[in-house]
Amino acid sequence: MSDYKIIFSGPVGAGKTTAIQSISDILPVTTDEQASDMTRKLKNGTTVAMDYGLIKLPGTERIHLYGTPGQERFDFMWEILSNGGIGLVLLINNQRPDPFGDLHFFLNAFQAFIKQGKVVIGVTQMDQAEMPRIEDYHLQLENSGVKIPVFDIDARIRKDVSILLEALLYSLDPGLED
Ligand SMILES: Nc1nc2c(ncn2[C@@H]2O[C@H](COP(=O)(O)OP(=O)(O)O)[C@@H](O)[C@H]2O)c(=O)[nH]1
Ligand SMILES: [Mg+2]
């Protein structure tokens, strides 16, 4: 049995929980609304939102999907969750006030993945906010000296999420077909 791990990260409302729900073969686990009273107290009324889902590949291979909490104050969780991850799906919410600020923040936070080329970016909510455009993201990344695939996705649509994952798997192993 081979187990792989992929991390979904990005700011609040970027669609991490939804993307994992869209693609998971099992009922995903989310702490969004299930945080215990204890957690609530500890975290000052904010739930520590973490997600887990699973993709069962033909044979015995499985991909475990982990969604990180979006808020910066939980960034200690990002490192824990990233451990042993084969790749990162970075979701950016185009409706937020400064999506490029978010982009750079998360690229910086996940440098290890970026350096190894183990990342794809999905820009969500483009149906709600059409600016900036995907070309603008390409420019931002180019100016930062990184080459990362970027897709316009809707986290609610399974096909969109699967395209993103395929791109990630392909960038990990270009020999991979189907
Ligand atoms: N209109 C629109 N809504 C989206 C899109 N992607 C996700 N959503 C919705 O945005 C909301 C926030 O998504 P959620 O998965 O909770 O974000 P998270 O905070 O990153 O986990 C949910 O209501 C989703 O259904 C998108 O591309 N367009
Ligand atoms: Mg969430």
> How many whole angstroms from 32 Cα to the centroid of ligand 1?
13
Quote the pLDDT of residue 35: 45
* SS3 state of residue 85: coil
Residues lining ligand 1, CB < 6 A?
10, 12-18, 70, 124-125, 127-128, 154-156
pLDDT in tens, the chain (178 residues): 799 999 999 998 999 999 999 999 998 888 764 445 444 544 444 446 689 999 999 899 999 999 998 777 777 778 888 888 999 999 999 999 999 999 999 999 999 888 888 999 999 999 999 999 999 999 999 999 999 999 999 999 999 999 999 999 988 877 655 4
Whether omega before 132 lies within 30 degrees of 0, making that bond cis, reads yes
**Hey, which of 18, 124, 164 would you mutate to test ligand 1's pocket, going by the most ligand atoms within 8 Å of its Cβ?**
18
Beta partners for residue 151, in sequence order = 122
Q: Which ligand is closest in space to the CA of residue 32? A: 2
**Is domain 3-172 annotated with CATH 3.40.50.300?**
yes
| Pair type for strands 119-124 and 3-9 | unpaired
Quote the pLDDT of residue 44: 45
| Angle, vertex CA 117, rays to CA 86 and CA 154, nearest 5 | 75
Q: State in Å, rounded, how far the first CA of the chain is from the last one.
A: 20
The CA distances from residue 88 to 1, 35, 37, 51, in Å, are 22, 25, 31, 14
> How many whole angstroms from 15 Cα to the centroid of ligand 2?
7
The C-alpha atoms of residue 94 and residue 91 are separated, in whole angstroms, by: 9
Q: Which residues contact 96 (CB under 8 A, 6 or more apart)?
A: 11, 13, 102
Retrieve residue 34's tokens. Answer: 């299930």
